[in-house]
Amino acid sequence: MKISEILEAFSKLNVLVVGDICLDRWCTYDPAAAEPSRETGLPRIGVVSFSSTAGACGTIANNLADLGLGRVAVMGAIGEDTHGDELFRALGIRDIGVDLVLRSHLIQTFTYTKHINAATGIEDLPRVDFINNSALPESLDAQLVRSFKSYASLFDAILVCDQAETTRGGVVTTALRDAINEFGRSDPGKVVWVDSRKRAELFAACYLKPNEDEAREAAMRLLGHEEYAYLFGALGLRALIVTAGERGATVLDSLGTRTHKTASVEKPIDICGAGDSFSAAAASALAAGATIDEAVQLGNLVASITIMKKGTGTATPAEVSAAARNAGIE
């Protein structure tokens, strides 16, 4: 398929993003306002403005929405707190569906608070993160599994964002992962795309997208060595897609191994979220009928656009079309 054909098909697709959803709070502070607190004597961080965006699952969902997908929804669990309210407002700006998001007083909304120096524009102070370091309550876990089993088949593609780097606290539990794997085995016509930071080797029958470090670590945990190419057969994957930043991405599937170079970008502004934009574009392309190689080509193209934007940037169809013309890959 041509890139123009893939983009045109996006408006007909319904896509679900499952996993850890967080709130990114971007707080701009004035270093000159760091006067000591009268109560404690400690210097304060004088925040003069802030904005909120959806992160993790939300970053992928934002990319899907801005690429022109017909319907985008997220599934996960967040707290009944003000950060959860902010997160819902941030998702609502792009009309991202939240009906499948559980809210509970048993957990808090996973939130990154980032401090940006107003004088330099650089994040240069420690983050204040609101985390869940206890296991997801069994009642929420069971609800999510039931919800996934009930609704997954209604979507053209499922993107799994297993963001948590700890063994406890993440939404993609053993039970939910088992349901995702079973769905992948039972419905091979649906795209199941997985990005897992610390547990890639536990997923099967899907399109698995780790970066190089994650792939090597997964292979070591599963196989006892770093030769990640063996993950494809060991896990019964549809394809293994290993991203390598500016060097592009390598595809391993039943046809063999090949590497797709990405467009050369001098002085990228912010590479944060590049993998999420790659996943959003590539998984959607597969759901639109593209081959894995065409999908990876589009993923590389979209990532080359988003890394030229501050924060977790997204790309529009118009920007993608222009970039394709410039690269001579229409």
CB count within 10 Å of CB 123 equals 15
Range ranked top by mean pLDDT from 74-83, 161-170, 310-319: 74-83
Predicted TM-score (pTM) of this structure: 0.94
Pick the CATH number of 3-22+54-109+132-327 from 3.40.50.1000, 3.40.640.10, 3.30.450.20, 3.40.1190.20: 3.40.1190.20
What b/e sequence results for 78-99 when a residue is b if at least 16 CB atoms lie within 10 Å of its CB, and e otherwise? Answer: bbebebbbbbbebbeebebbbe
pLDDT digits (tens, 9 = 90+) for 282-305: 999 999 999 999 999 999 999 999
| Distance in angstroms (rounded) separating the CA atoms of residues 300 and 311 | 18
Confidence tier at 51 by pLDDT (50, 70, 90): very high
| Distance in angstroms (rounded) separating the CA atoms of residues 88 and 263 | 35
What b/e sequence results for 238-276 when a residue is b if at least 16 CB atoms lie within 10 Å of its CB, and e otherwise? Answer: bbbbbbeeeebbbbbbeeeeeebebbeeeeeeeebbbbb
Mean pLDDT in residue range 160-180: 93
Choose among 258, 261, 257: nearest CA to 248: 261
Q: What is the mean pLDDT of the chain?
A: 94
Q: What is the pLDDT of residue 270?
A: 66
Q: What is the pLDDT of residue 46?
A: 94
pLDDT above 70 covers a percentage of the chain that reads 98
pLDDT digits (tens, 9 = 90+) for 240-249: 999 998 899 9
